[in-house]
Amino acid sequence: MSNLKIFIAGHRGMVGSAVWRKLAAKGYTNLIGMGSKELDLRDQSAVNSFFKAEQPDVVIDAAARVGGILANNNYPYQFLMENLQIQNNLIDAALKENVAKFIFLGSSCIYPKLAPQPLKEEYLLTSSLEPTNEWYAIAKIAGVKACEAIRKQYGKDFVSLMPTNLYGPFDNFDYETSHVMPAMIRKFHDAKNSAQDEKTAPPVTLWGSGSPMREFLHVDDMADAVVFALENQLAEHLYNVGTGTDLSIKDLATLVQKTVGHLGEMVWDSSKPDGTPRKLMDVSKLQKEGWKYQIPLEEGIKETYAWFLTNQANFKQVKIDTL
């Protein structure tokens, strides 16, 4: 098993690097990763040549252009087109070169904005998407359907894993492009550090009303789910990956604020969009297959903040190479 040649696309990103660490810890030694300067995954010819030369047994697609509400709103074309290019090139090359197993990683945003909760895999394409991230979602839906089509037409082991909101080491803490939790960590940290004394700190302004409900999964748990999918023959083409529990953004902010040690006020800017009211995943399918998360949220936030403190001098560089 450890001799399998595994190509991890996006191995320097938060998810890809976690998958690499998990595989290496389990004794997999034949791992391949290419940075965007070595291999531009948007370039079909380059991707095809790479697959012909390397002939991987397994491909894990953790490569994507990612970001939060602001980034999705500001760069809709790039979020749609670049994600389509990346995944289409990888999926098609994997089919052409007879890759034995392909694991496609997406996002819970593929499900309709107002779908019943918790989100079941069969709710895909039953209603309209959340407008603030529909560009990314449409691309990821296309990837899921491409893998399903290959599984149906060619009988190949192509499977899609849809994680809930991920967080952890190597996350993106940039103000403009980060997701909700790393953005909170940095905001509370920066406010705490700018305080004139230990008992006071400037207020922290957060987007929206704080009422939306969100589910969070530590990236190491996500990596564990990927390895589980690698080592097992899953019965279906699409699986949700999450904890099956959620909390309000306000409650998350309280947890992060406590972890960071910020003593100031929280201000909610309700002029900013909330996004989807609730995104709780039904994770029963993957649980029935035998996988369940391990890292509690409070423990995971503490670990993530500790990583941030160690790496804050260069965290802006961490996010650059996700391809």
Alpha-carbon distances, residue 295 vs 181, 185, 221 (angstroms): 16, 18, 7
pLDDT number for residue 211: 96
Q: Is 165 annotated as a binding residue?
A: yes
Q: Is 10 annotated as a binding residue?
A: yes
Q: Is 105 annotated as a binding residue?
A: yes
Read off the pTM.
0.91
What is the amino acid identity at position 26? Answer: K
Joined together, the tokens standing for residue 200 give: 């006071």
Q: Is 222 annotated as a binding residue?
A: no
Low-confidence ranges of the chain (pLDDT < 50): 317-323
Catalytic residue among 28, 111, 123, 136: 136
pLDDT in tens, 20-63: 999 999 999 999 999 989 999 999 999 999 999 999 999 999 99
- β-pairing verdict for 157-163 and 204-207: unpaired
pLDDT number for residue 323: 33
Architecture of domain 6-318: 3-Layer(aba) Sandwich (3.40)
Q: Is 273 annotated as a binding residue?
A: no
Asked if the peptide bond before residue 56 counts as cis, ω within 30 degrees of 0, the response is: no
pLDDT number for residue 275: 75
Joined together, the tokens standing for residue 82 give: 């670049």
DSSP string, 149-216: HHHHHH--EEEEEEE-EEESTT----TTT--HHHHHHHHHHHHHHT-SSTT----EEEES-S--EE-E
Query: How is the chain split into domains, by residue range?
Result: 6-318
110 burial level (CB within 10 Å; 0-12, 13-18, 19+): buried
pLDDT number for residue 321: 38
Q: Which residues pair with 267 in a beta bridge?
A: 205
d(CA 173, CA 215): 19
Q: Is 207 annotated as a binding residue?
A: yes
Q: Is 52 annotated as a binding residue?
A: no
Q: Is 204 annotated as a binding residue?
A: no
Q: Is 16 annotated as a binding residue?
A: yes
pLDDT number for residue 315: 59
Query: Where would I find the H helices in the chain?
Result: 14-25, 44-54, 69-74, 76-96, 134-154, 180-193, 219-231, 249-260, 284-289, 297-311, 315-318
Q: Is 114 annotated as a binding residue?
A: no
Gyration radius of the chain's alpha carbons: 19
pLDDT in tens, 103-133: 999 999 899 988 999 999 999 999 999 888 8
Is the separation of the CB atoms in 32 and 8 below 8 Å?
yes
Q: Is 136 a catalytic residue?
A: yes
